[in-house]
Amino acid sequence: MVRVVPKSIPSLTGCPDFNAVVLVPSTAIVTHLEMNALWHTEGLPFENFHGNAKIAETLFAMTRQERIPQTILLDGPEGVGKATLARRFAAALIGGAEKIEQDDLSLEANAEVIAEREKWPADKRNEDPLLFATHPDVLTFPPDGPLRQITIEQMRLLKQRAQFKPLHGSRRVFLIDHIDRANEQAANSLLKILEEPPEHLVLLLGAENPYDLLATIRSRVVSFHLAPLSNAEMKTFAASRGLADVERRIALAAGSPGLAVSMDLEVYDERRTAMLKLLEVAAGSAPFADWAQYAEAMAPRKLEKLDALLKILYVLLEDVLLLAEVRNAEIRNADIRRDLEALAGRVSFRWIRTAVERADELSALVRRNIQKSIALDALVVELRGLAV
């Protein structure tokens, strides 16, 4: 039967050499493997999954074993394919791929459900925790509410649903997307589930930063890190999807196919203009009044999330750092290279480092629903003082 991976077993934090050992599919489970020994399978890995081939092959091989770990953590950058790989894994394990794919959170209908719930009062969301379950044996729990958190109510519902036996087959698969966004109560509730999970349950956890999880949760999972795709892999992916503006999408997505597909370049450019102006004012190359115009325009936009602006700010700061420190550097925002070169010529490494540190602090406060305009104003003022 399926069982929990003991705490004493180290997690797999990458993918070692696949040629190290060849095992017959019913003879091994994750807890018996050394760091340099993974499965080899003659079958094909998951269809329409791009990048991280060794991890995909490993998970595909797991589905052909008699026993698999009950809790698997997939971590990596946003849009790299964690949830996609989790759905492919679930489909290979229990079948029903068509139904499982209907719970893809990037689908317009599902995105609309999540966005609409942001308008609900907290009491209403608590009474009706968010989950998707088109397939009766595969449940997906995404972040909910305006702060996009995994809530205690969702984890209580997960514990309740986990007791039900599979409708078909011998297993049920639950995906918790962005488990690193679980609040403290939700994380502790999940830990109790991990300590004594039902034998039929397989938990798949997705996270951008595994170190935002409790150490006691990390110790109970088998972990795989999904790395950004190479440019060649991204080009293959873009060609398969028929994407427009391929070169720019690949540059901005930084190896994340999900971002390349979902990115609205018009919205990105609008937000980037605001963040570039913030940096120019913070560097002392433009008057504060120039930033005030953007801040006033953004303040009433409830859908203009601070975390979305901070992500663009990080990209711009990365480009500025590269231009300041590396000759002929390749940057992600190549279309505004002159503006960024001018900015790089005005600021010091200390200024850039401080900007990143303050952005980190704001990022940590995002889940507390701070006022974005006030937070960004304070950032401009502090950095402007350093630039003088």
For residue 54, is it within any domain? Answer: yes
Q: What is the pLDDT of residue 219?
A: 92
303 band by pLDDT with thresholds 50, 70 and 90: low
Q: Are 219 and 167 in a shared domain? A: yes
Longest dimension (CA), the chain: 68
Q: Are 81 and 214 in a shared domain? A: yes
Are 223 and 75 within 8 A, CB to CB?
yes
Q: What is the pLDDT of residue 40?
A: 42
> Is residue 145 scored above 50 in pLDDT?
yes
Are 172 and 138 within 8 A, CB to CB?
yes
- Helix (H) or strand (E) holding 156, with range, is helix 152-162
Q: What is the pLDDT of residue 44?
A: 54
> Is residue 371 scored above 90 in pLDDT?
no
Q: What is the pLDDT of residue 45?
A: 74
* CATH of residue 170: 3.40.50.300
Q: What's the predicted TM-score (pTM) here?
A: 0.82
Domain carrying residue 130:
30-227
Mean pLDDT of the residues in the chain: 86
Of the listed ranges 35-44, 150-159, 278-287, the one predicted with least confidence: 35-44
> Is residue 182 scored above 70 in pLDDT?
yes
Q: Are 71 and 181 in a shared domain? A: yes
Q: Are 128 and 199 in a shared domain? A: yes
Q: Are 105 and 219 in a shared domain? A: yes
* Contacting residues for 215 by C-beta, under 8 A, at least 6 apart: none
Per cent of the chain over pLDDT 90 is: 71
Are 262 and 105 within 8 A, CB to CB?
no
Q: What is the pLDDT of residue 388?
A: 60
Distance (Å, whole) CA 153 – CA 144: 10
pLDDT digits 0-9 by tens, 259-300: 999 999 999 999 999 999 999 999 999 999 999 888 888 766
Q: Are 200 and 271 in a shared domain? A: no
Distance (Å, whole) CA 57 – CA 15: 10
pLDDT digits 0-9 by tens, 203-229: 999 999 999 999 999 999 999 999 999
| Domains of the chain: total | 2
Across 98-111, b (16+ Cβ under 10 Å) vs e yields eebbbbbbeeeebe
DSSP 149: B
For residue 1, is it within any domain? Answer: no
Q: What is the pLDDT of residue 221?
A: 94
367 band by pLDDT with thresholds 50, 70 and 90: low
Q: Are 38 and 142 in a shared domain? A: yes
In order of 133, 183, 249, 274, the CA distances from 322 in angstroms are 45, 35, 19, 21
